[in-house]
Structure 1
Amino acid sequence: PEKVIPRAMILSSLILIVLYTSVVYVTVRVVPVEVLKEQTSPIAFAAELVMGKAGAMLISGVIIIAGLAAVNSAIMAQSRILYALSRDRYLPGVLSAIHGRFHSPHVASLFSLIFTVAVTLLGDVNFVAYLVNFGFVIGFAFVNLSLIKLRKEKPWMRRPFKSPLFPAVPLAGISISIILLLFLDKAALIVGGESIMFALLAYYLRMVGYSRLRLAVGGISLGTGVLTVFLAFMAGTRLVMFDLPGLKIIPPAYILISFGFIQVLAGILNIVPTSPKSGHLKNGGKDNKV
């Protein structure tokens, strides 16, 4: 398997590249590009011109089967990603449940299926396709980036298969992924970028741990409270006048001062170390990451 599987993956990829490129080449040679743009199924339309109705039905059937296979692969991959994230405690633990008979992450698979159907029902198939392509391209880029990182940081690891021409191959993969992003829809790029930012935030919160997160929140609350009290005091003593356009009702100074003191108290309570018996800190008061 150490030799057969890598060879099979490389050979199958080359075959698919040649096959898909040939189909697209024949399609654009048979039908002008201007005409293909107006068709919902360009390949089936070209097949109908060449082979008639029977050819169009045959090609449509092949496309449907290929689409179902692609969806099945995507659901399987997505469920395994959810399982891994849940196992590492980035997602709820229920997603890492394993079926007793089939030994598969059935909860993650069911969630992936429901999510796929829900996204499909949005109606905008093109946007969904662009969004899926964004996810795949970003995934490929990170796989190549991880390859470079692992080869540099852990050269001693046993590797049954090594990428040839390192680091040219992974760098080429990253470059091609970036180029492909330029052809995606802008809305898909925005949504995908926001998803990445959310994922990075979740990863950061997971890595910093509970106690450090408390310190950060406590510091923000303490600073906000002190600033609020100071500004409210200055406004109440008329030492500073605030001209806020569009704000017709300005809260009295004592309300702002009360709010500021609450913020200060919340900040102090978050900064003060918690007793190990409280349940937030375990293992003798050590940081318990969430």
Structure 2
Amino acid sequence: MTGSGSSPRLRRTLGVGDAVVIGLGSMIGAGVFAALAPAAAAAGSGLLPGLAVAALIAYCNAMSSARLAARYPASGGTYVYGRERLGAFWGYLAGWSFVVGKTASCAAMALTVGAYLWPGQAHAVAVAAVVALTAVNYGGVQKSAWLTRMIVAVVLAVLASVVVACLGSGASDAGRLDIGASGGVGGVLQAAGLLFFAFAGYARIATLGEEVRDPARTIPRAIPLALGITLVVYACVAVAVLSVLGAGALGRAEAPLADAVRAAGAPGLVPVVRVGAAVAALGSLLALILGVSRTCLAMARDRHLPGALAAVHPRFRVPHRAELAVGAVVAALAATVDVRGAIGFSSFGVLVYYAVANASALTLDPSPASRALPVLGLAGCLVLAFALPATSVVVGTAVLTVGVVAYGVRRRRWAGGGSGAR
């Protein structure tokens, strides 16, 4: 199943609770604090329908991913599923889409930390956050799961205080009058595509398949649990913030949750919300680096990335070279990129990734009942990907094309040299 049968295997230490927490740390950190405002700007009063569409497509993807992960409990997620079910090219396309999309997402989360903790030095703080969390991941996945559990607890407490403050104040004049025009079907779909960036965290559970105990049982339970909890949290927060800001003001907000508690008459909560946002982004960044490094490990085992990245640390049993490489690239991006642009680019790459996951799930069972969710998920991913802002679509397509060309060049070299690499 891998291109390197002699490499050490990762240690299976994660149970259902650990896997759910890792998924929550990624999803909740990314969505509430990074994607809500641009989604409101796109959809206007259609924000909640956009959230529902994103959740529906995410559910389809989650079910496809869970079925595939139970059958292929190895690091790499859809990279492995596409390779085994559809062929080497489709696995590579999924892996490339995930790595480039989620690397951009890592940079966005790191910059979110910087923007909330020290706006004047956001890039420097972002780089420091990447270095620190790469060091945590290097020490072993169990340490990462423990830290993520603490982060999720803090973030959920902060979000609960936001919901109570907003709903307890009653709808303000802004919430009643500044409803905002609907963005129409196109706006709702664009908002759903941007919000999908927030729901994609359950992929981390699948990419950690080689480190999960009893994966055939654990992964199918952990993925829908994490997704369901996240949807409830998103819906509560979105309704609460809309009740005091309205869709128009929410779409213009730089720090929407902080603005909401201020408008709700609880300015004392603003510093708490800012710290909570930074902590949430740290949790998301921690889980993202985990997922990207494991996909790099799987691709390196098959020689789609440098073989040195397939090394597993003899003591910590983690892909330490892949983690260091990912950390270095993310740190470089965090020093230069823009947060909102990274969200759109990341969404495009991840939607392509899940399109391959759904196509792979279609090959598992020919019965119409089993194919319904993968068909809906595949169609939904493609529609949302091309409903994103034009810049995200153009840049995303260009980067994926570069990866496809690189794949073709390598295949010709392998064919010419008689290599059996996959």
TM category, shorter: 0.5 to 0.7
Between the aligned partners of 1:104 and 1:95, the Cα distance in structure 2 is 11
Residue 92 (str. 1) matches residue 306 (str. 2): yes
Between the aligned partners of 2:415 and 2:228, the Cα distance in structure 1 is 51
Paired position in structure 1 for 2:333: 119
Q: Where in structure 2 are the equivalents of 1:223-238 lying within 5 Å? A: none
Q: Where in structure 2 are the equivalents of 1:58-137 lying within 5 Å? A: 58-137=272-351
Deviation at 1:211, TM superposition (A): 4.6
Residue 180 (str. 1) matches residue 394 (str. 2): no
In the alignment of these two chains, the number of paired residues is 207
Q: Where in structure 2 are the equivalents of 1:267-278 lying within 5 Å? A: none
Residue 17 (str. 1) matches residue 239 (str. 2): no
Paired position in structure 1 for 2:419: 288
- 1:76/1:45 CA distance change after superposition, 3 Å: same
Q: 1:166 aligns with which of 363, 366, 370?
A: 370
Deviation at 1:114, TM superposition (A): 1.6
- Tell me the SS of whatever aligns to 1:86: helix
Contact 2:244–2:260 at 8 Å: present in 1 too? yes
- 1:165/1:47 CA distance change after superposition, 3 Å: farther
- 1:21/1:178 CA distance change after superposition, 3 Å: farther
Paired position in structure 2 for 1:190: 394
Contact 2:365–2:371 at 8 Å: present in 1 too? no
Cα deviation code 1:79-119 (max 9, x no counterpart):
11111111101111111111121111111111111211222
TM-score, normalised by the number of residues in structure 2 = 0.45
Deviation at 1:208, TM superposition (A): 4.5
- Tell me the SS of whatever aligns to 2:317: coil
Between the aligned partners of 1:30 and 1:100, the Cα distance in structure 2 is 54
Residue ranges of structure 2 left out of the alignment (5+ in a row): 1-213
Deviation at 1:4, TM superposition (A): 4.5
Deviation at 1:289, TM superposition (A): 4.9
Q: 2:250 aligns with which of 36, 54, 79?
A: 36
Deviation at 1:167, TM superposition (A): 0.7
Deviation at 1:150, TM superposition (A): 4.4
- Tell me the SS of whatever aligns to 1:145: helix
Between the aligned partners of 2:333 and 2:390, the Cα distance in structure 1 is 18
Identity of aligned residues (%): 27
Paired position in structure 2 for 1:201: 405
Between the aligned partners of 1:9 and 1:86, the Cα distance in structure 2 is 26
User: In terms of mean alpha carbon deviation, does 180-189 or 107-116 score higher?
Assistant: 180-189
Between the aligned partners of 1:289 and 1:200, the Cα distance in structure 2 is 19
Deviation at 1:179, TM superposition (A): 2.8
Deviation at 1:23, TM superposition (A): 0.8
Deviation at 1:186, TM superposition (A): 1.9
Cα deviation code 1:237-260 (max 9, x no counterpart):
xxxxxxxxxxxxxxxxxxxxxxxx
Deviation at 1:57, TM superposition (A): 2.3
Root mean square deviation, CA, Å: 2.4
Between the aligned partners of 1:149 and 1:117, the Cα distance in structure 2 is 39
Between the aligned partners of 1:56 and 1:25, the Cα distance in structure 2 is 19
* Structure number having the greater helix percentage: 2
Contact 1:207–1:289 at 8 Å: present in 2 too? no
- Tell me the SS of whatever aligns to 2:333: helix
Deviation at 1:15, TM superposition (A): 1.6
Paired position in structure 1 for 2:166: none
TM-score, normalised by the number of residues in structure 1 = 0.64
Paired position in structure 2 for 1:54: 268
Residue ranges of structure 1 left out of the alignment (5+ in a row): 156-163, 213-279, 281-286
